[in-house]
Amino acid sequence: MSFRKIFLLAVVALGLAAFFSFDLGQFLSLDYLKQSQVRFETLYAADPLKVSLVYFAIYVAATALSIPGATIITLAGGAIFGLWWGTLLVSFASCIGATLAFLVSRFVLRDSIEAKFGNRLAEINRGIEKDGAFYLFTLRLIPVVPFFVINLVMGLTKMKALTFYAVSQIGMLAGTLVYVNAGTQLAQIDSLKGILSPALLGSFVLLGVFPLIAKGIVGLLQKRKVYARWASVKPKRFDRNLIVIGAGAGGLVSAYIAAVVKAKVTLVEAHKMGGDCLNYGCVPSKALIKSAKLAHQMRHGETYGLHSTPPTFGFKAVMQRIQAIVRAIEPHDSVERYTGLGVEVLQGYAKLVNPWTVEIALNDGSKQTLTTRSVVIAAGARPFVPPLPGLEDSGYVTSDTMWEKFGELDEVPKRLVVLGGGPIGCELAQSFARLGSKVTQVEMAPRVMAREDEEVSELARQALMKDGVDVRTGHKAVRVEKRPVRPELVLRQAQDDRGDGASTSSARTGGVLVVEHQGAEQHIEFDELLCAVGRSARLTGYGLEELGIPANKTVDTNEYLQTLYPNIYAAGDVAGPYQFTHVAAHQAWYAAVNALFGDFKKFKADYRVIPWATFIDPEVARVGLNEQEAKEKGIAVEVTKYGIDDLDRAIADSEAHGFVKVLTVPGKDTILGVTIVGTHAGDLLAEYVLAMKHGLGLNKILGTIHTYPTLAEANKYAAGEWKRAHAPNQLLAWVGRFHDWRRG
């Protein structure tokens, strides 16, 4: 702590010590004030300016030091100076003193509080930045929370001092008038309870109701301003209660909820029902991972006491299996199912014409225009393609386009370059390596899966390399060049063209990826290039620009998932901040319910417990904080770790690798985050997700019976490790002595 902070603390401490040591509180009692009222009035009559200045200084000092007694001093202002002059003195003195307390709290306490509770304070600051002035105004209007508490707490936030002073000056004025007015009637007040006469009580009731009225008025004014340019086109009647744009996870759930509550809802999808997850993401990738894992197990049969055998397969059959799995799940998300649920499903491109009108260009060439009370935008995301020179001419694929292109191949790509070291890149790189591709994975960052802890990233890198992936981290892709001409390939191509040679697609496709590492260029030849560097929200083509709805990387929404226009909502990848199917479905509930019933009650989207998993082998699953994030946010945590190599079932399955790592509040069993690395980590994580959602600690998990032998026992043993570290050793020593005594 700096010398200036120590000095300021000392001054405040001395001031408080003097107040209590000299029993100055006796002068801040109702009895003393009533007894001295005549004397104060005489002094004021003799020298009004001097008495006013002394009173002003005392009030500022008392408020700045947060000394109890502000109510008595305010009453004194009314008793001595009358209503108007007393109100003027109290109003400015209280605000100046409050601002001084605010600044002292900020200067002395904020840094240490941020270091300890940085994550929570960051959330508060986001709210303060958005609605802080209005929130402070409502607190000042209602004299329920002690004003000195408000002064000190607001000093810990990033609210500007000038804003704090101005809002306090206005917000406290009504309450100041009430108390100063009560002071003018001091002779009739026998106790502080006397302030709450029927008339004054009515004043406080009005003060309590006023913030709600003010908030409603502000909301109406904001709506009026937002909708001003569209006022002339607002329909008097609406065709639909809700129109949903996009039939991925977010859109399907939104439409389903609307249909369940008997709203008239239309779902618009331009391409495939089920969106990215069913057709290009979760479902086909997991089917690929399963085939690749079986091929890996066959290749390592000796691990299970069997003969190892190289897997023989046709790659086209693998891809056909994947498409068969997609077709098997399709009915869950089909037009027929949702029509049967009561949803009108239209196949075409939707565009917002105004906040209540959607124009739909149907796939059959016709057009339809519908009006609606509310809209949910669930347009999803697409693979991000970096502006890499030569990439467009390379025949690259993404996680969306690879299924169709690779489905036409007879053999797995011989040389595959995977651009990207995130979850998608890692899953696909490992799978194709296990199926026989020579895979080179290129990642610009110093490690793969950079959002995870360093030890997790390292385990992922080792697993990829063990399966034959050439992992090149710290390598920046510079450009893509055409494959150099090779005489033998030209000859083979000529044979193919004459029909007297085996087909070789590598003569026609592929190229060279040029990367930069430590200042030097490297050249990586490939037959196929898979771009997996992330996904970007779909933000164009459906009217955001024309309506002026703000969108940067995602559509801007508030905590209720409302866009600029309160009747237009966004959910899923297009809204962020997470790009997971389960989060899209989670957001869809809030978007649909708020869209349909928000005039009566709105719900803030809850992101407190968000799980996710990366399905490499071994799997990586996480919920809440990891050590890396805790350090970045300045959150103190205690780390408990259990090695799965000690787990009976994992040993029996020859899967004895990985760990369960739990972050808790220091000294408590409250779970802040969990990372699991190991087989079926995504399934094991569910127990912790449930515990965190409902406030259950490690002691509850430890006290729960887990079936033996199962992988789920890892969770119980992790809780046991925490319990062992917090054993009451001193008490146990006494218990040991007790047992010694019992034995005689």
| 663-689 tens-digit pLDDT | 999 999 999 999 999 999 999 999 999
Rounded to the nearest 10 degrees, the angle between the axes of helix 83-141 and helix 3-21 is: 120
Residue 176 has pLDDT above 90, yes or no: no
Residues 154/157/162/165 CA torsion (nearest 10 deg) = 0
Q: Report d(CA 108, CA 156) in Å as an integer.
A: 9
Give me the pLDDT at residue 156, please. 82
Give me the pLDDT at residue 700, please. 97
Q: Report which of residues 349 and 121 the model is more confident about.
A: 349
Mean pLDDT in residue range 116-121: 63
Residue 505 has pLDDT above 50, yes or no: no
Greatest mean pLDDT range, 2-6, 151-155, 188-192: 151-155
Give me the pLDDT at residue 1, please. 54
Mean pLDDT in residue range 246-273: 96
Q: Report d(CA 646, CA 717) in Å as an integer.
A: 10
* pLDDT classification of 209: cutoffs 50, 70, 90: low
* pLDDT classification of 476: cutoffs 50, 70, 90: very high
Express as a percent the part of the chain with pLDDT over 70: 83
Tell me the three state secondary structure of residue 522.
strand
Q: Report which of residues 154 and 331 the model is more confident about.
A: 331
Give me the pLDDT at residue 16, please. 56
Sort 34 into a burial class: Cβ within 10 Å, 0-12 / 13-18 / 19+: middle
In this structure, are residues 349 and 541 in contact, taking their beta carbons and an 8 Å threshold?
Answer: yes
Please, what sign has the CA dihedral across residues 359, 362, 367, 371?
A: negative
- Compute the half-sphere exposure of residue 1: CA atoms within 13 Å on the CB side of its CA: 13
Residues 6 or more apart in contact with residue 686 via CB below 8 angstroms: 611
Residue 501 has pLDDT above 50, yes or no: no
In DSSP terms, 535 is beta-bridged to: 383
Mean pLDDT in residue range 150-176: 85
Mean pLDDT in residue range 206-221: 61
* pLDDT classification of 157: cutoffs 50, 70, 90: confident
Alpha helix ranges (H) inside 22-82: 30-46, 48-64, 70-81
Tell me the three state secondary structure of residue 660.
strand
pLDDT tens digits, one per residue of 43-55: 888 888 988 898 8
Q: Report which of residues 111 and 742 the model is more confident about.
A: 742
Q: Report d(CA 172, CA 99) in Å as an integer.
A: 13
Give me the pLDDT at residue 503, please. 42
* pLDDT classification of 28: cutoffs 50, 70, 90: low
* pLDDT classification of 430: cutoffs 50, 70, 90: very high
pLDDT tens digits, one per residue of 636-645: 999 999 999 9
Mean pLDDT in residue range 119-147: 67
pLDDT tens digits, one per residue of 534-593: 999 999 999 999 999 999 899 999 999 999 999 999 999 999 899 999 999 999 999 999
| Two structure tokens written together for 318 | 């693998």
pLDDT tens digits, one per residue of 585-612: 999 999 999 999 999 999 999 999 999 9
* pLDDT classification of 244: cutoffs 50, 70, 90: very high
Mean pLDDT in residue range 730-742: 91
Tell me the three state secondary structure of residue 399.
coil
Mean pLDDT in residue range 6-27: 61
Q: Report d(CA 432, CA 423) in Å as an integer.
A: 14
Mean pLDDT for the chain overall: 87
Mean pLDDT in residue range 175-185: 76
Give me the pLDDT at residue 343, please. 97
| pTM given for the model | 0.76
Q: Which of 75, 369, 345, 133 is nearest to 235 (CA)?
A: 369
